[in-house]
């Protein structure tokens, strides 16, 4: 666990240096009428919020060397802010599933662990930045404990 945590911190460090927007992206921004706004609460069952939570957990899975995949189990709070696209800020619980990572299963079909030794739930805060018109996303912040 200690090792996974160190790895995760390392991943986040790398991620935070990857935010350089492309020229394509910048030209779009110049021609958009959307004004930056303050974060607003949004329903946790909103499909876009669910998608953002899934992206967070996928990023988590990419960053850890656990044998099993984790999946989002509960979204307790969600905020959205318009910043060059949409930025979601989520409090999300993730838990270990019975699906092995190396089998590349679809997370939708993965049940949570019931084995007491393997059961694990983490509380995460994540920020997911989605640029719908470019079908791009980033997970610049992901903190789990």
Ligand X SMILES: *[C@@H]1O[C@H](CO)[C@@H](O)[C@H](O)[C@H]1NC(C)=O
- Applying the rule CB under 6 A, the residues between 103 and 142 that interact with ligand X are 115, 117-118, 139
Contact 126, 137 (CB under 8 A): no
CA distance 30 to 69: 40
Residue 32 vs 143, nearer CB to ligand X? 143
**Residue 102 lies near ligand X (rule: CB under 6 A):** no
**Residue 58 lies near ligand X (rule: CB under 6 A):** yes
Tokens of 55: 């992206």
CA distance 98 to 109: 10
Contact 121, 93 (CB under 8 A): yes
# binding residues, ligand X (CB under 6 A): 8
**Residue 71 lies near ligand X (rule: CB under 6 A):** no
Binding site for ligand X (CB under 6 A): 55, 58-59, 62, 115, 117-118, 139
């Amino acid at each position: 666990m200690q090792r996974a945590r160190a790895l995760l911190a390392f991943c986040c460090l790398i991620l935070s240096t990857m935010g350089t927007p492309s020229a394509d992206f910048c030209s779009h921004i110049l021609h958009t009428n959307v004004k930056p706004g303050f974060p607003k609460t949004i329903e946790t069952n909103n499909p876009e919020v669910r998608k953002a939570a899934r992206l967070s957990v996928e990023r988590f899975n990419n960053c850890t060397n656990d044998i099993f995949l984790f999946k989002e189990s509960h979204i307790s709070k969600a905020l959205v802010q318009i910043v060059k696209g949409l930025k979601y800020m989520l409090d999300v619980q993730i838990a270990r599933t019975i699906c092995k990572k190396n089998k590349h299963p679809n997370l939708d079909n993965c049940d949570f662990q019931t084995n007491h030794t393997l059961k694990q739930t983490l509380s995460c805060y994540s920020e997911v930045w989605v640029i719908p018109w470019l079908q791009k996303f980033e997970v610049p912040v992901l903190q789990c404990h």
